[in-house]
Amino acid sequence: MDVKRDKDQDADCEKVTAVLLKSRTGEFDLESILFLKLRGLGIHDLGCIGECMNLERLDLSGNNITNLAALSSLRLLFVLNLSANRISNLEPLHNCENLQNLNLAGNNISSIESFHCLKSLRKLENIRLKDNTYNYTNPVCRNTPYRTIILEMFPTIKVLDGERVVGRGSDLYQLCKDIDDTIKAGLYKNGQLIEHPDCKPWVEDTYWEIKRSNNAIIDEAYKQFNDVLHECRLLNNRATHVISQTERSMSLKKQPKQYAI
């Protein structure tokens, strides 16, 4: 009996239902839901999610979604995370007129033409098609000039794939990116990654850990902040390798030459 009940509950998670929405948010009225996180539940059918008319933030990452039709009624939505799904058609999103932040990394979007339906979204400022932190991408990202085309198509875009392209902070981001590229170049010799097993981290492994909050909005902010910290840790590791390599090289140069008698 218990096994059957568990299977039924799993089946319910494959489709968004009123019961699922109310249990996840604690709201009795679907129109009262402003923030909703349904991450990694195996959802493939968005069901009645369109009844959450006042929804502002929605996280559907890590599911099996292919059809976005149910989202067309969410006109107040301004943050939407659809990463790690199986989406190829973005047409239903053209009604989400207040959309500002759209994460599509890790889907099946294969052509730039798929974005033409979103050109009416005048408030769109942040689009993500790939995420190196989680190794998420889209087939369209194999097309080298896709970034240039996206920026031309959406003149309001300020952040693309996590990189600030215009406005305050863009110069700093480019500087950090140049430093990162330089560090990466120093990690390789003759095409091979140089390992330095004796290198010690600058801080303890748990130094970057932060406490989680039960508040849904703050919890999402913590997730985004943790993503940035993860990238910082990667940069820190690369810098440590390069510094160690440079110190060894300088140490060898300073050693006096020894001659056999």
92 is written with which tokens?
């239903």
Q: How many CB atoms lie within 10 A of CB 151?
A: 14
Question: What CA–CA distance (Å, rounded) separates 107 from 162?
Answer: 16
Identify the burial level of 128 via C-beta atoms within 10 angstroms of its C-beta, where 0-12 means exposed, 13-18 middle and 19 or more buried: buried
Question: What CA–CA distance (Å, rounded) separates 74 from 225?
Answer: 26
pLDDT in tens, the chain (261 residues): 343 434 444 444 789 999 999 999 999 999 999 999 999 999 999 999 999 999 999 999 999 999 999 999 999 999 999 999 999 999 999 999 999 999 999 999 999 999 999 999 999 999 999 998 889 999 999 987 899 899 889 988 999 998 888 654 455 555 555 666 666 566 555 555 555 555 566 556 555 554 444 555 566 566 667 767 777 777 777 778 778 777 777 777 666 655 555
In 3D space, the residue among 243, 172, 230 whose CA is nearest the CA of residue 202 turns out to be 243
Helices (H) and strands (E) in the chain, counts: 5, 9
Q: How many CB atoms lie within 10 A of CB 173?
A: 14
110 Cβ partners below 8 Å, 6+ apart?
88, 138, 139, 140
Task: Give the pTM.
Answer: 0.64
Which residue ranges form the domains of the chain, and what is each CATH number? 1-162 (3.80.10.10), 168-255 (no CATH)
